[in-house]
Structure formats: C-alpha cells, structure tokens
Amino acid sequence: MKVLLIGGTGTISSAVAARAVSEGFEVFLLNRGTRGDRVCPGATVFQADIQSDEERVAELLKEHQFDIVADFIAFVPEQLERDVRLFAGKVTQFFFISSASAYQKPLGSYLITESTPLSNPLWEYSRNKIACENYLMEEYRKHGFPCTIVRPSHTYDERYLPVAVHGKKGSWQVIDRILKGKPVLVHGDGSSLWTLTHAEDFARAFCGLMGNPAAVGNTFHITSDESLPWDQIYDRIGSALGMSVQKYHVSTDFLAHCDPEFLGTLAGDKSHSVVFDNTKVKRLVPGYAARIRFDEGARRCVRYLLETPRAQVSDPEFDAFCDRVIACQEGARSAFFSSITR
C-alpha cells in the first residue's frame, strides 16, 4: 500500500513512519525538509510547505494516487479544506490526527470512550480540533470523503519527556531542577490520573487501522491502558534519574493566573483525571495493547536526555517562574499563620 504522511518527523508521525516501513508499506513523507535527521530510513520525501504553498504540493503530487494519506499537522478546518481539495478522489483512506483533549471538560464520567461528548471551553487548540472533526465528518456524510479520525492522548518518545508543568523550551529544565535538588511544580495535589502512551505503541495500533475499510467514517482514540497519578509520574522520572523528586503542589487555578498558557494545557487538559477505554480500536486491531509501561518509557527518555547535549536546552525564564511561584505560595502560607498568631 502507498502511504503519504503529511509531517512524518514529529513525535507521533516519525513512529508511524518507522512502523509502516517495517510492515512493508510504501511510505512517502511531505514536509519542509527541516528535520532530515528524523526522516525514517526507507521513506521517500516530498519537500514542500503544505501550509503556505498548496500549488507546489499539488504539482508534486499530481501524478500520484495514495491508498492512505495521514495529516499530522492540521489544526484548523481551513487546513482540512485544503486537504480535501488536494486528495478528494485520489485517496482510499484519509487520516486526521485530532486530540483526546477534545473530550468534554469537566468529564461526565471517569471512563472515556469515543462516544464521550466533545466540548472544551478552556482550550482553543481543542475547540479547533473539534471543528476539524465536524468538518471532516460532514464531508464524509455528504460527499463520501473517506476519513478516519484518530485522537491521541499524551503521546511521547525518547526525545520528549512528558511532564505537566514546563516552559516553552521543553522538559529539560524540569530535569535540571530535579538533578539540582530543587522542587518541581506539580499541579493540584498530584493525585489526578493521567495516561501516557509511548509513540511506538501508538504506531502499532495506528498502522493496524491503515487500509482497514471498517475504520473509514469512524473515530478512534489510541492510548495506553495504564493510568497513573501525576505524583507517581514524577516519581518514576526521579527513579530513572536515581533521584528523589521534591514535588511542590500548586493549584491549577493559581498556575493559570500566573501564566495564562496553563489555562488550556492544565485546566483544559492535564488537571482532569483521564482513563481511556480502548475497546473500539482493539476490535479492529486484534491483539493491540500498549507494551511500554511508563517506568520503562521514563528510563528511555532520561537516558536520551542525559546522553544528548543538544537536548539539554536550558530555560532560565521557566526556572525563575518556578522559584517565584513557590516563593509566593510560601509567602502566603507564612502570612496566613502570622495573621492568626497576632
């Protein structure tokens, strides 16, 4: 089968590319060519910026028909309107990568299935993904556009250590604080459940859906069945480092007041307990189960970070943010107890 991955070098898409090649798919990537070190051996690259040059993409692909196209970098409906223009009548199955953050917040039930309502008033990213899904399903119902929607949850690989509270430059500064014995911020009381899925596990299920006619017109999430409290997630990172993690709990509301970016990523996502029912994808991909527990995944991430200097990107702005938040909370605590002893 002939497969085109739009993107193909990100955390999820590079794992899908590698898995697809290993399973014998003929794999093509469409991207800007800026991350050549992450191109999967065995894949062919079409170099173009689909976000800004639709005409060039159309010219590059005009002689090609694909069994499968998967867009990993579409975030708003206008980008999918472009995809429909490019691929309608030229593809047997089109995948859109949505997000499990689209499920309703707060949840009506702790157990999430694909029929859980989509509604996230707290995060624009999620609302845009919902709008994308609605557009594609309308295209399927009205015109037969052969879409399959996949909702990943928090998916990671060795190059992306999953933490909840971090700065714009990634997770290294959190690791640096742990290594230096400094407290790290954990939202809430650390007891809410979270599901982390290694990209290799995601790719096994995703490739099982590729070329599967029963998946067309359908929606799936693909996650691990392991749900851990955030405190345990940080403890497993600490164990991988051989360090004890000083976890400093701060309410999500306070963090979002201090930095509005956290309104979406925490209040609209990571502060809610999530447990996923993967029955639907397992019906179509018999034998699928996530195999990489987070203790093993954390060891892989930590090993990569410690052995790869270019991944050790310092973030002094975030480091200072952590110190200020902790100082403010400690100051409030002191002020409260001073007020009742007067």
Kindly state whether residue 337 falls inside one of the protein's structural domains: no
Percentage of residues in the chain having pLDDT higher than 70? 99
Q: Choose among 282, 283, 315, 290: nearest CA to 155.
A: 290
Q: Which amino acid is at 212?
A: N
In a domain, 100, yes or no: yes
- Quote the tokens at residue 51: 């976000």
Report the sign of the C-alpha dihedral through residues 277, 100, 313, 181, in that order. negative
Could you tell me if residue 34 is inside a domain? no
- Res 6: pLDDT: 97
Residue 53 belongs to a domain: no
Per-residue pLDDT, 341 = 66
The answer to whether position 308 is within a domain reads yes
Q: Which amino acid is at 203?
A: A
> Could you count the other beta carbons within 10 Å of the beta carbon of residue 37?
5
- Model confidence at 31: pLDDT above 80: yes
Q: What is the CATH number of the domain that holds 198?
A: 3.40.50.720
Mean pLDDT of the chain, nearest integer:
96
pLDDT at 214: 97
Query: Would you state the pLDDT for residue 36?
Result: 78
Cα maximum dimension of the chain: 81
d(CA 338, CA 340): 6
**Secondary structure class of 135 (helix, strand, coil):** helix
**Does residue 229 have a pLDDT over 70?**
yes
Tell me: the pLDDT tens digits for 247-279? Answer: 999 999 999 999 999 999 999 999 999 999 999
User: Residue 342 has what pLDDT?
Assistant: 61
Q: How high is the pLDDT of residue 64?
A: 92
Confidence of residue 33 (pLDDT cuts 50, 70, 90): confident
- What's the rounded mean pLDDT across residues 177-186? 98
Q: Which domain holds residue 323?
A: 74-330
pLDDT at 37 over 70: yes
Q: Is residue 49 part of a domain?
A: no
pLDDT given at position 339:
80
Instruction: Give pLDDT, residue 248.
Output: 98
Supply the pLDDT for residue 50.
Answer: 95
The tally of domains found in the chain comes to 1
Residue ranges of alpha helices (H) inside 210-251 are 230-241
The band of 13, judged by pLDDT with boundaries at 50, 70 and 90, is very high
Q: How far apart are CA 235 and CA 19, in angstroms?
A: 30
Count the neighbouring beta carbons within 10 Å of the beta carbon of residue 107: 15
259 — phi, psi (to 5°)?
Answer: -145, 105
pTM over 0.85: yes
C-alpha distances (whole Å) from 34 to each of 9, 70, 137, 317 are 9, 19, 32, 27
Residue 151 lies in a domain: yes
**Residue 297 forms part of a structural domain:** yes
